[in-house]
Amino acid sequence: MNILDLQIDRVSEDESKKSKQLISELEELSKSTAKRGIVKKFTNTIDGTDVEISSWRFNEWDYSSKKVKLPIYARGLFTVGDRIVCRGYDKFFNVDELGSVSKKALQETTAGPYTLTVKANGCIVFISGLEDGTLVVCSKHSTGYREDLTRNHALAAQTALEKQLEDSGLKPKELATTLYRLGMTAVAEYCDDSFEEHILEYAQEKAGLYLHGLNYNTCDFKTCSMAVVTSFAQAFRFRTIDYFTIPTFEATMEFLEQASETGLYKGEEIEGFVVRCQKDNSDFFFKYKFEEPYLLYRELREVTKQFLTKGLDNVSFKNHKLICMDYLKFVIPLFDADPSLKDDYLQGKGIVKLRKLYMEHKQKSGSEIIKEEQSMAKLEEELKCAGYGQDTCKYVLVTVATIGCGKTTTSMTLANLFPDLIGVVQSDDIPSPIKNKQVAKCLEVLVEKPIVILDRNNHKFIERQQTFEYFADLNKLIPESKLKFICLNFLGKVSKDDPKLWEITRARVLDRGDNHQSIKVERDGTYKAEMIMKGFLGRYQPVVREKFPDSRFDHIIDLIVDKDSSLENAKLITRKLLEIATDIKINLPSEEQFLEAYKKALSFKPLVTKNFKTKKEKPQYFGIQVNDIDKVTQIHEIDFFKQLQEADRLKKEFHITLVHVGSTKKNPPVKTIYQNYCGLVKDTEKIDDQMELPYKADAKLVRACWNSRVMCIEAEVKRIYGEEGERLESLGIGNRYPHITVGTISEKVQAVESNKLLSDLHEFGDENIHTLEFNIELHQLPVFVHY
d(Cα 513, Cα 235) in Å, to the nearest integer? 92
CA distance 476 to 462: 23
Alpha-carbon span 57 to 73, nearest angstrom: 10
Cβ-based neighbour number of residue 52 at 10 Å:
13
Assign residue 350 a region (left: φ > 0; alpha: ψ between -120 and 50; beta: otherwise): left
* Nearest alpha-carbon partner for 374 in 429, 323, 447: 323
Asked if 552 contacts 648 with a C-beta cutoff of 8 angstroms, the reply is: yes
φ, ψ of residue 421 in degrees (nearest 5): -110, -35
Q: Are 328 and 345 in contact (CB under 8 A)?
A: no
Beta strands 77-80 and 243-246: pairing type? Answer: unpaired
Helix %, strand %, coil % of the chain (to 5)? 40, 25, 35
Residue 153 and residue 163: Cα distance in Å, rounded? 15
∠ Cα 551 554 560 (to 5°): 85
List all residues 6 or more positions away from 17 whose beta carbon is below 8 Å from its beta carbon: none
- Pair 685, 525: CB distance under 8 Å: no
Give residue 714's Cα distance to chain centre: 14
Query: Would you give the DSSP letter of residue 650?
Result: B
Residues 6+ apart with CB under 8 A from 525: none
Rounded Cα–Cα distance for residues 727 and 666 (Å): 29
Instruction: Give the closest residue to 247 by CA, choosing from 355, 110, 59.
Output: 110
Residue 538: C-alpha distances to residues 495, 527, 692 (Å): 12, 16, 11
Active site residue 119: yes
Q: How far is residue 343's CA from residue 88's CA, in Å, rounded to a whole number?
A: 36
**Which entry of 18, 35, 67, 119 is annotated as an active-site residue?**
119
Task: Give the strand order in the sheet containing 451-455.
Answer: 422-426, 451-455, 394-400, 483-489, 555-558
Residues in the chain: 787
The span from the CA of 373 to the CA of 296, in Å, is 11
Nearest-5° Cα angle at 373, 372 to 374: 90
Burial letters for 255-287: b for 16+ Cβ neighbours within 10 Å, e otherwise?
bbeebbebbbbeeebbbbbbbbbeeeeebbbbb
Who's near 59: CB < 8 A, 6+ residues apart?
36, 38, 761, 762, 765
Helix (H, G, I), strand (E, B) or coil at 721: strand
Cα separation of 160 and 102, whole Å?
Answer: 38
What one-character-per-residue DSSP string does 597-642 give? Answer: HHHHHHT---S---PPP-TTSPP-EEEEEE---TT-GGGGG-HHHH
Residue 386 half-sphere exposure toward CB, CA atoms < 13 A:
8
Active-site amino acid positions: 119
